[in-house]
Structure 1
Amino acid sequence: MSYSTKILVYTPSEPEEYAAMIRQAGYTAVDSASTPEEAEKKLNGTEVIISWKFPLHLLERPEAKTVKWIQSLGAGVDDLASSPSINEQVVISRIVDQFGPPMSEYVFAHLLYTYQDLARSRASQQEKQWQPFVTEILHGKTIGIAGIGSIGKEIVKKARAFDMTVYGLSYSGKDAQLVDRHFGPDQWLEFVRELDVLVLILPLTDQTRHVVNRDVLLAMKPSATLVNIGRGHLIAEDELIEVLRAGHLRAAILDVFQQEPLPADSPLWQLPNVYVTPHMSGPSTQERIGQYLLDNLARYGRGEALQGVVDRGAGY
């Protein structure tokens, strides 16, 4: 690839930030788009697409025949990996090894908020009431991490700092040595039974879609907390709502959902033991992602292996 190779940056919000950064690195043919209509006008002749939520139907158009590489701005690529609109010859890559610190901090910020009952302390302060109470601590609790990739490894590190027992579930088992007990994909019920906290970070594949269903949820301790920072469709959402309404589970901390934005009529907004955040645990900031993109563009230009290449068969 030369510096004149056409690159299209697409995100629904502020794509020009990334486009300007790439131009500053010397690339001269860089367009940006934030709507499908803009992307359609600028697609002709494009070889590289750097995107978040690209309108995939456009890749079926004749103008897309020059596309050779799609670089996602996120870690989750189930939409790209499963899309019939993307030619098999097109390389797909995702962001790896960038989201561990912010996503692990998100997890423990919410766990500490929940177990220290900071909402209660704040309410007492607002009412000027001196009301000491005994809080719970994470020390000695058992956390289960479903997905021991780069993000999961960061959560393991922080869990160790709190002296937690760490269980892990993964489909490859290649990092089983990082956790106190490791489970495979056919051991979900056994995996969750002793957990105080279950954290979901798995990619979405045919095997993981709705893998956390009523049976798995009811196998968890009623006092357990569920955290989902992976993909919304890992959980059978309607079944989760039923289980929460029945009083099973201490809390559900949810950053991802089956439909995003979360519809205003979703019961999850108002269930008292649910914490909703708008898919913000792993922000794709220019500062964090920019150098990764430039490194991959340089690798592509030199004909070297890219970072984060997606195995379409595996789905990630």
Structure 2
Amino acid sequence: MRTYQPTILVYSPNQAEAYAKCVRNHGFKKVKAAATLEEARKNLPGTEIILGWKFPIEILDESIAASVLWYQSIGAGVDDLISDTSNLEHMTITRIVDQFGTYISEYVFTYLLFILKDVSRMRQAQVERRWDPFIPELLAGKTIGVAGLGSIGAEIVRKARAFDMNVHGLSFSGRQAQLVDRHFTSEEWIEFVKGLDYLVLTLPLTDATKHLINRDILLAMNPRAYLINVGRGALINEGDLVSVMSLGHLQGAILDVFETEPLPEDHVLYTMPNVYTTSHLSGPSTTRGVCQFFVDNLQRYIDNQPLLGVVNRERGY
């Protein structure tokens, strides 16, 4: 039995009890679970720590949340928590880091290889029992640009190296500039995108990045380039993307995240033949992975050590 038992509220619309059970299995007994607004209101008083996903943040401004000192997000994105709708200055916010790079990088290269090698053509030839030899293209020698060089972007860069690609990167801090062949700053977007075969977005959503990929940026890209978004949906102005691609500019887009999720069933992106849409699945938060990260951070909290994944409110992530 652990000597110090902080009161923890786990909130998730679909997996609250699974996360709570995992945390309890690590010796923490004062763990409550909530899946609805009503359950969150009931359990929030006296809570010191929240492990949450899609938490009803409006109640964090209320007096029932006064005891909360730390909010651990179940995901990597925290744009909802630092939006203007809630004032959480009295609590530390942390996000999951260093867990999604492998998943997301494999997702990216699954699609790049699927498209470049024309797997659909091969499969159709098999279905039709038709011999159809052709010479597929290579990733080797092509130029990939990764916007955002955190743990996810860095893993995409690492895999791109394995395919002998030219690797460009853009980041706001420049701390990881040494990872790429050419590094660009946030003032150099046009220069960054114009020479790319593939543009991959791994950026967080902040005031500075919302609708950053607009008509001007899209038209500056190579007309035969692909856009891949595994960051946040609102990085892209979707209206501009549809308009530009309807003109025949850009060879295709691979989109795992959208401004509105789930993507409405009547959305035009579903019907565009050179757009590949998936259901925000490229970087899943697994119960085991999230639980282990949280428990490790919880031990740091108890030991008064710096927490991992602390969010800088000014920076937005």
Q: Identify the TM-score tier after normalising by the shorter chain.
A: over 0.9
Match of 2:82 in 1: 81
Q: Greater CA deviation, 81-90 or 217-226? A: 81-90
Deviation of 1:82 (Å)? 2.4
> How many angstroms apart in 2 are the aligned matches of 1:105 and 1:259?
24
Would the alpha carbon gap of residues 83 and 90 (structure 1) be closer, same or farther in structure 2, given more than 3 Å must change?
Answer: farther
Deviation of 1:121 (Å)? 1.1
8 A Cα contact 2:58 2:85, kept in partner: no
8 A Cα contact 1:56 1:86, kept in partner: no
Match of 2:99 in 1: 98
Match of 1:69 in 2: 70
Match of 1:121 in 2: 122
Deviation of 1:265 (Å)? 1.3
Matched, 1:138 2:139: yes
Deviation of 1:45 (Å)? 1.1
> How many angstroms apart in 1 are the aligned matches of 2:180 and 2:83?
31
Unaligned runs of 5+ in 1: none
> How many angstroms apart in 1 are the aligned matches of 2:121 and 2:268?
23
8 A Cα contact 1:56 1:83, kept in partner: no
> How many angstroms apart in 2 are the aligned matches of 1:64 and 1:245?
48
> How many angstroms apart in 2 are the aligned matches of 1:83 and 1:77?
12
Match of 1:19 in 2: 20
Aligned partner of 1:108: which letter?
F
Match of 2:112 in 1: 111
Matched, 1:270 2:236: no
> How many angstroms apart in 1 are the aligned matches of 2:3 and 2:270?
49
In the TM superposition, what are the counterparts of 1:41-80 in structure 2 within 5 Å?
41-80=42-81
In the TM superposition, what are the counterparts of 1:238-277 in structure 2 within 5 Å?
238-277=239-278
> How many angstroms apart in 1 are the aligned matches of 2:45 and 2:3?
17
> How many angstroms apart in 1 are the aligned matches of 2:4 and 2:24?
9
Unaligned runs of 5+ in 2: none
SS at the partner of 2:282?
A: coil
Match of 1:297 in 2: 298
8 A Cα contact 1:82 1:315, kept in partner: no
8 A Cα contact 2:8 2:32, kept in partner: yes
Match of 1:179 in 2: 180
> How many angstroms apart in 2 are the aligned matches of 1:87 and 1:138?
45
Aligned partner of 1:211: which letter?
L
Match of 2:285 in 1: 284
Match of 1:306 in 2: 307
User: TM-score of the superposition, structure 1-length normalised?
Assistant: 0.97
In the TM superposition, what are the counterparts of 1:132-211 in structure 2 within 5 Å?
132-211=133-212
- Any idea what the Cα deviations from partners look like across 1:6-40, whole Å, max 9, x if unmatched? 11111121211110011111111111112222212
Deviation of 1:4 (Å)? 2.9
Aligned partner of 2:264: which letter?
P
Deviation of 1:42 (Å)? 1.3
Deviation of 1:87 (Å)? 2.8
> How many angstroms apart in 1 are the aligned matches of 2:188 and 2:15?
43
Match of 1:237 in 2: 238
Aligned partner of 2:295: which letter?
L
RMSD, aligned CA = 1.2
- Any idea what the Cα deviations from partners look like across 1:168-199, whole Å, max 9, x if unmatched? 00000111111010000011000000000000
Report percent identity of matched pairs: 56
Deviation of 1:86 (Å)? 3.4
> How many angstroms apart in 2 are the aligned matches of 1:126 and 1:41?
57
Aligned partner of 2:48: which letter?
E
